[in-house]
Amino acid sequence: ASQPTPAFIRQRLEQAGQRSISILVDLSNYVMLALGRPTHIFDLDLIEPLQDAQLEVRWAREGEQFELLNGSSPVLGPSFGVIADSKGPVALAGIMGGQRTAVSTATKNILLEAAFWWPDAIRGRSQKLKFSSDAGYRFERGVSAESTVEELELLTALILKYCGGDWGPVNDIQIESPARLPVHLRHHRLERLMGISYATDEVLSVFARLGLRCQSTGEGPETIYQVQPSAERFDLECEEDLVEEVARIVGFDRIPLRAPSALLQARLAPETSRSIHTLRAQMANLGYHEAVTYGFTDSKLAQWFVSNPNSLLKLLNPIASQFDVMRPSIVAGLLRVANENQARQEQRIRLFEIGRVFSRQPEPGIVADAMSVPGVWQPQRLAAFASGLAFPLQWGLES
């Protein structure tokens, strides 16, 4: 494992956005980019084998913890799959390997792993741990279950070619994986959604070109297509997915340009209330600049602006760890923007923002209407921030 990575492999990895790490890791990433399935390489000498096997695949135990390759040590639960030896987990299934059995330049014996992980067992786990990986990105979207051995053979051949050594047997374990159910498409539903007519033979030809087994019953608009998704097409789950495939293959240019028609009902604001645009104009006339900040913020910061932390609306899938709740106040975002301006030597700051704030508990007397969500209070608020001199610096005034 101490040999250098061939230049052409290193160059192709760099072109794909991958950095070169070591010969074994580079070859594993190379096969992943070529065939689409992530693989993992364990240092065999660092594995503490079980009584009847080298490794086992199981659900993590409550509170189980081990160090990953990225240096983090997340606390796991029964919703996470792990690969484990007799001492505990050595890899987070379908996401990332562990540091204890990681390969290095001193590695002599290795164990290759290529697996099929059901997308539902991987999806959302990386977000819970607040990091992402190439393996998790692919497995949560679906990878074919039919080519694990072939990909192991290719990886083995590359390792033998560039690292040398001897190969061992392949242990191919196949269990009952969840069956892929056929998806039905109604011909009249296809034409209704796309707004144009399709011939039955044309639709059957599309599925044949995509390599999908299809059977049809009925005639004309009453035709029903029963499509069996192939092993790698995890994106075909409902009728609308098949509609998209037909439109994509036949051509979106077949769809005529047609203006949307909808019934619009005006919602007139009371004449006694000022519009948001009027408030914006007045704040601008006072010399304030409008800021537009995120509608979510850090839960630790948000607790300073609420009397009851349980009223905060937590996000199920935050874009970042510091944006995990909906904002209960606009002030927090304005303070962050003002701090960034002061860090850039801005001496006179005038900012304002108009936006919605969010709380789980409506104020007494608030009645839900057609534009509100039951149980959630989201009124519009105006907040402003001012610091520095009362008037801008001018050459004719003393500073």
In this predicted model, what pLDDT tens digit does every residue of 176-187 receive, in sequence order? 777 788 999 999
Q: Quick one: pLDDT at residue 63?
A: 92
Query: How far apart, in whole angstroms, are the C-alpha atoms of residue 244 and residue 239?
Result: 9
**Looking at residue 366, what is its pLDDT?**
57
Residue pair 235/241 in contact (Cβ under 8 Å)? The answer is yes
Distances in whole angstroms, Cα of residue 189 to Cα of each of 13, 185, 399: 44, 7, 73
pLDDT, residue 364, reads: 57
The reported pLDDT for the residue numbered 363 is 57
pLDDT under 50: residue ranges of the chain:
none
pTM for the model stands at: 0.61
Write down the pLDDT at residue 273.
78
Q: Cα torsion at 356, 359, 361, 363 (round to 10°)? A: -40
* Confidence (pLDDT) at 362: 58
**Burial (CB count within 10 angstroms: exposed 0-12, middle 13-18, buried 19+), residue 186:** middle
246-252-258-259 Cα dihedral, nearest 10 degrees: 100
Number of CB atoms found within 10 A of residue 173's CB: 8
All CATH 3.30.56.10 domain ranges of the chain, comma separated, are 183-253
CATH number of 276-387: 3.30.930.10
The residues of the chain that CATH labels 3.50.40.10 are: 7-163
Q: Which residues pair with 232 in a beta bridge?
A: none
Closest CA to 352 of 327, 378, 335, 334: 334
All CATH 3.30.930.10 domain ranges in the chain, comma separated = 276-387
180: closest CA among 147, 226, 139, 136? 226
pLDDT number for residue 365: 55
Model confidence over 203-255: pLDDT tens digits? 999 999 999 999 999 888 899 999 999 888 888 889 999 999 999 999 988 88
Looking at domain 7-163, what is its CATH homologous superfamily? Phenylalanyl-trna Synthetase, Chain B, domain 3 (3.50.40.10)
Question: How confident is the model at residue 367, as a pLDDT?
Answer: 59
Query: What is the CATH topology of the domain spanning 183-253?
Result: Phenylalanyl-tRNA Synthetase; Chain B, domain 1 (3.30.56)
